[in-house]
Amino acid sequence: MAQTLSLLYDRVRVEEKEIINAAQKKGVELRPIDAKELHLEITDLNKDEIFGDVALERCVSHFRGLYLTAILENKGVAVINPFSVAALCGDKLLCSMKLAKAGIPTPKTIVAFTKEEAMKVLEEEMGYPAVIKPVFGSWGRLIAPLKDRETAQALLEDREEMGNPLYQIYYIQEMVERPPRDIRTVVVGDQIAASIYRYSAPDDWRTNIARGGKAEVCNLTEDLRELILKAAEVVGTGLLGVDAMETKEGIVIHEVNSTVEFKGAMSVSEVDIPGMIIDYALEKARR
Amino acid sequence: MKFKCPECDGEIETKEVIEGEILSCPDCGAELEVSKDKKGNFELKVAESEGEDWGE
């Protein structure tokens, strides 16, 4: 019997449209399902047929997608990405630890749990400039460069006032000296689909395409390919966006993203990324 | 296709749409999501606004 797929979304971005198109082109049955219109009985463990053999979880809301994945896996539906991968990649702290433990070069990061202790990290260990990031969230949201004591104090005070307790997990990272670009690689299973340089927009220091960053093809060296594939394997393998930076001391991998956006990569690469995603999902369905 | 903006009642003309797609109203700038009503006809509703956990 032919394998069937589902696509779980809450917003249809370019990526989701392209995945739907790719399935159509290949004659694969893929059912788009709006997560906002779902309710699921979590105490009933029967497999719900509407999700098909494999569900591609593409929600823009991380927690919506994460819990949906947990529920579907519990009902016996295979999800791309698996819960363990999405949970790890959705948390910068857990992801940094995992990369470091696997011996993958990653920026030095120190975590504190109070504003006072975070100041101590900056004054006594990290120095300025440094970067503070929320442990969750994306698109560079609330990621700030801390250039001096005054900025740091003001920013940490702001953080204290923010309602979400996760903002009181102070994740402080060294400011890596790099060119105004980073390297985003879309990894599909154990294959590299495409790799791009993301240049930061003229009025921003962050390289996120969502912040206006520009894409250009990047030809990876064999060493870098290996490192990127290892990073993808370390977090558990899936459909991933591995982000690397070029430093004087060599490459560092600073992040692995779970619901990877590949609009930028698609705009400059010849590779059929959505087609690869469908093939990967089918392969998983056969297993 | 022709729609009315649920926010400002302005006219919105589009090419073919698919469910879940986001349009923005040329008059008021509201972000609108394409959905289907009970009869299966396309309609526009005001889209969710960006959450703190949105992204990759």
Q: In chain A, where are the structural domains located?
A: 4-88+279-286, 109-174, 178-270
- Spatial separation of the C-alpha atoms in residues A10 and B31, rounded to whole Å: 14
Q: Which residues of B touch A62 (CB under 8 A)?
A: 53-55
pLDDT the model gives residue B47? 94
Q: Which residues of B touch A241 (CB under 8 A)?
A: 56
Helix (H, G, I), strand (E, B) or coil at A270: coil
The pTM for the full model equals: 0.93
Label residue A2 by pLDDT band (50, 70, 90): confident
Q: Which residues of B touch A258 (CB under 8 A)?
A: 56
Is A155 exposed, middle or buried (CB count within 10 Å of its CB: 0-12, 13-18, 19+)?
middle
The interface pTM score, or ipTM, of the predicted complex is 0.85
Label residue A46 by pLDDT band (50, 70, 90): confident
Label residue A199 by pLDDT band (50, 70, 90): very high
Helix (H, G, I), strand (E, B) or coil at A80: strand
Model pLDDT for residues B15-45, shown as the tens digit of each residue: 999 999 999 999 999 999 999 998 999 999 9
- Spatial separation of the C-alpha atoms in residues A74 and A44, rounded to whole Å: 9
pLDDT(A48) > 90: no
- The answer, for B55 touching chain A at a CB cutoff of 8 Å, is yes
- B48: distance to nearest CA of chain A, Å? 9
- Spatial separation of the C-alpha atoms in residues B7 and A273, rounded to whole Å: 36
Model pLDDT for residues A145-183, shown as the tens digit of each residue: 999 999 999 999 999 999 899 999 999 999 999 999 999
CA dihedral A5→A91→A210→A215, nearest 10 degrees, is -80
Cβ of A164 within 8 Å of Cβ of B52? The answer is yes
Lowest mean pLDDT among A171-185, A201-215, A219-233: A201-215
C-alpha distances out from residue A116 to A113, A119, A152, Å: 9, 5, 11
State percent of chain A over pLDDT 70.
100
- Spatial separation of the C-alpha atoms in residues A204 and A202, rounded to whole Å: 6
Q: In chain B, where are the structural domains located?
A: 2-46
- Spatial separation of the C-alpha atoms in residues A66 and A276, rounded to whole Å: 23
- A109-174 classified as CATH 3.30.1490.20: yes
pLDDT(A92) > 90: yes
Model pLDDT for residues A272-283, shown as the tens digit of each residue: 999 999 999 999
pLDDT the model gives residue A179? 94
Q: Which residues of B touch A61 (CB under 8 A)?
A: 51, 53-54
Return the CATH fold of A4-88+279-286: Rossmann fold (3.40.50)
Angle at A74 between CA A70 and CA A76, to 5 degrees: 120
Cβ under 8 Å to A: B residues 7-36: 18-22, 33-35
Would you list which residues of chain A are within 8 Å, Cβ to Cβ, of chain B? 9-13, 16-17, 20, 32, 34, 36, 60-64, 134, 136-139, 141, 164, 210, 241, 257-261
- The answer, for B56 touching chain A at a CB cutoff of 8 Å, is yes
The CATH number, out of the four listed (3.20.20.140, 2.20.28.160, 2.60.40.10, 3.40.50.970), of the domain defined by the range B2-46: 2.20.28.160
pLDDT the model gives residue A163? 86
* Mean pLDDT, residues A2-17: 95
Label residue A81 by pLDDT band (50, 70, 90): very high
Q: Which residues of A touch B35 (CB under 8 A)?
A: 34
A127: left (phi over 0), alpha (psi -120 to 50) or beta: left
Model pLDDT for residues A113-124, shown as the tens digit of each residue: 999 999 999 999
The CATH number, out of the four listed (3.40.50.300, 3.30.470.20, 2.40.50.140, 3.20.10.10), of the domain defined by the range A178-270: 3.30.470.20
Residue from A75, A98, A74 nearest A87 by CA: A98
pLDDT the model gives residue A287? 84
CB A120 within 8 A of CB B37: no
Q: Which residue of B has its CA nearest to A8?
A: B20
